[in-house]
C-alpha cells in the first residue's frame, strides 16, 4: 500500500544566486576586517584554522581524562575576550560535571600560577597576600568576562530553549553584531528521554547544535570523550597507530559529522610511551624533561587542512595548556610579536 503524504507542508528553497551573494558578502567582509574569526590564545591553532574559530561553527575538543580538554575549555571562556576585545559576544557555559565556583577557581589558578590545592589551602593556609590577590582577580574576572553558567543537567530540548532565550535577551542588550559562544562540557551527562541510549542522546545533542547554528550567530565548543581503544595494548605497542583517529571518538559518527573542527588533545606519557607515533615525537619537553608534551591532533578542519599535529606543553597543574616552540621557532615568534608591536 502506497504511503500517503500531505501536500500542506514543504521546505523552502532558494536559487543559487542567493547563497552566491551571501558568499561574496562574507568574503568581502572578511577581507575588509568587518567579519573575523574569534582568535584563540594559541597561534598554532589560529594558523591552522580560519585565523581562529569562525562564527556559526561547531568545534569538538576531545581527549582522554587528564589530557587537558577541560582546561582548554576553561581557558577559552576567558581568553576569547582577551584576544577579541572589539567583538560583541557572551559565553553561555553548560558545565554538568563541575560547579561554577570551581570553574572560577581554575581561572584564578591559571592567572596566578598557583595550583587549586594551594588556593584552597589543601596543605597549608593560603597567605593573606595571596588571598587578597585572588580576591582582586575574582572581581576583575567578573567585570571583564561576560560568562554565564548552567550547571544543572538538562535535556536537549531544554538546552535548545535556554540557548535561544539567552541569545535573544543578550541581543536586545548588545545590539546588532552580537554572538553567543556556547560551551558544552561532559556531554554524557546530558539527560535523555526514557529509553534513550548515550549514543542516541549524543546524536540528538549534535542535531540541536546544527539547528541552532543556522538560526543565530553562535559558536559551539563541545568537550567530548574518547573510548578506550586508544589505550589498548595493540595500539600502545604499535607506533603506526599511536595517533588518535575518528574511531576513537565516543559516538564517532555523530561527533565527527556534526563538527566543523575536531581537535583531539593527547598526552602520550599517560600511556608510558618512550616516543610518540611513527615520527617518534618526544614524550617529554626537550627543553625541560620535568614537563610532559601534549599533542593536538586536528583530525577535521572543514575549511582547511586536516591531520595537523600541534606541539603543546603540559601546564595543567595551573589549568593551562601552553604552546611548545623549539628555540628556532621561539625566536621567529618573538620577532613577529616585535613587528606587530611596532605597527601599533
Round the average pLDDT of the chain to a whole number and report it.
90
* Number of residues that this document lists for the chain: 344
**198: confidence class by pLDDT, cuts 50, 70, 90:** confident
CA–CA dist 292, 137 (Å, integer): 28
What are 79-86's contacts with CB under 8 Å, separation 24+? 79/40, 79/41, 80/38, 80/39, 80/40, 80/181, 81/144, 81/145, 81/146, 82/41, 83/38, 83/39, 83/40, 83/41, 83/52, 84/36, 84/38, 84/39, 84/52
* Residue 3 clears pLDDT 70, i.e. is over it: no
Q: Which pLDDT band, with edges at 50, 70 and 90, does 2 fall under? A: low
Q: Where are the alpha helices (DSSP H) in the chain?
A: 17-31, 43-48, 69-83, 100-112, 116-119, 128-144, 156-174, 198-212, 233-236, 252-258, 327-343
pLDDT at position 5? 66
DSSP letter assigned to residue 221: E
**How do residues 132-150 score in pLDDT, each as one tens digit?**
999 999 999 999 999 999 9
Phi, psi of 242 (to 5 degrees): -65, -40
Instruction: Please write the tens of the pLDDT for every residue from 212-241.
Output: 999 999 999 999 989 999 999 999 999 999
Q: Bin 52: left if φ > 0, else alpha if -120 < ψ < 50, else beta.
A: left
CA–CA distance, 94 with 149 (Å, rounded to integer): 6
pLDDT at 186 over 90: no
Q: Please check the confidence at residue 311 and state whether its pLDDT lies above 80.
A: yes
- pLDDT confidence of residue 37: 94
Q: Which domains, from first to last, does the chain contain?
A: 38-263 (3.40.50.300)
pLDDT on residue 343: 44
- Report the candidate in 179, 181, 245, 187 with the shortest Cα–Cα distance to residue 217: 179
* pLDDT confidence of residue 336: 44
| pLDDT at 74 > cutoff 60 | yes
Handedness of CA 116, 118, 124, 129 (dihedral sign): negative
- Asked if the model's pLDDT at residue 197 lies above 90, the reply is no
Residue 335 has phi, psi (to 5 degrees) of: -65, -40
Confidence at residue 329, expressed as pLDDT on a 0 to 100 scale: 54
Cell 542522546 sits on residue: 201
Query: Which of 23-27, 149-153, 175-179 is predicted with the least confidence, judged by mean pLDDT?
Result: 149-153
Question: pTM of the entire structure?
Answer: 0.89
Amino acid at each position: 500500500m502506497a504511503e500517503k503524504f500531505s501536500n500542506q507542508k514543504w521546505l523552502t528553497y532558494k536559487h543559487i544566486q542567493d547563497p552566491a551573494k551571501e558568499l561574496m558578502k562574507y568574503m568581502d567582509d572578511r577581507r575588509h576586517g568587518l567579519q573575523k574569526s574569534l582568535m584563540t590564545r594559541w597561534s598554532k591553532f589560529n594558523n591552522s584554522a580560519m585565523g581562529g574559530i569562525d562564527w556559526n561553527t561547531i568545534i569538538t575538543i576531545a581527549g582522554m581524562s587528564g589530557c587537558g580538554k577541560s582546561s582548554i575549555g576553561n581557558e577559552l571562556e576567558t581568553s576569547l575576550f582577551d584576544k577579541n576585545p572589539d567583538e560583541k559576544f557572551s559565553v553561555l557555559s553548560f558545565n554538568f560535571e563541575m560547579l561554577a565556583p570551581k570553574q572560577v577557581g581554575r581561572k584564578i589558578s591559571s592567572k596566578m600560577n598557583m595550583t587549586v590545592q594551594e588556593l584552597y589551602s589543601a596543605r597549608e593556609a593560603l597567605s593573606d597576600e595571596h588571598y587578597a590577590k585572588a580576591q582582586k582577580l575574582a572581581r576583575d574576572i567578573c567585570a571583564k568576562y561576560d560568562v554565564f553558567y548552567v550547571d544543572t543537567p538538562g535535556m536537549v530540548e531544554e538546552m535548545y530553549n535556554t540557548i535561544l532565550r539567552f541569545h535573544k535577551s543578550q541581543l536586545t542588550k548588545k545590539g546588532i553584531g552580537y554572538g553567543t559562544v556556547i560551551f558544552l562540557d561532559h556531554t554524557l551527562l546530558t539527560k535523555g528521554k526514557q529509553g534513550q541510549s548515550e549514543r542516541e542522546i549524543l546524536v540528538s545533542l549534535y542535531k540541536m547544535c546544527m539547528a541552532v547554528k543556522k538560526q543565530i550567530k553562535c559558536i559551539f565548543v563541545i568537550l567530548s570523550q574518547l573510548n578506550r581503544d586508544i589505550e589498548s595494548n595493540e595500539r600502545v605497542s604499535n607506533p603506526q597507530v599511536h595517533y588518535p583517529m575518528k574511531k576513537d571518538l565516543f559516538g564517532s559518527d555523530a561527533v565527527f559529522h556534526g563538527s566543523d573542527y575536531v581537535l583531539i588533545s593527547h598526552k602520550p606519557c599517560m600511556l608510558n610511551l618512550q616516543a610518540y607515533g611513527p615520527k617518534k615525537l618526544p614524550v617529554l619537553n626537550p627543553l625541560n624533561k620535568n614537563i610532559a608534551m601534549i599533542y593536538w591532533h586536528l583530525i577535521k578542519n572543514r575549511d582547511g587542512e586536516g591531520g595537523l599535529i600541534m606541539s603543546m606543553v603540559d601546564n595543567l597543574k595551573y589549568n593551562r595548556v601552553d604552546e611548545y616552540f623549539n628555540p628556532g621557532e621561539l625566536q621567529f615568534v618573538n620577532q613577529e610579536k616585535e613587528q606587530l608591536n611596532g605597527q601599533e
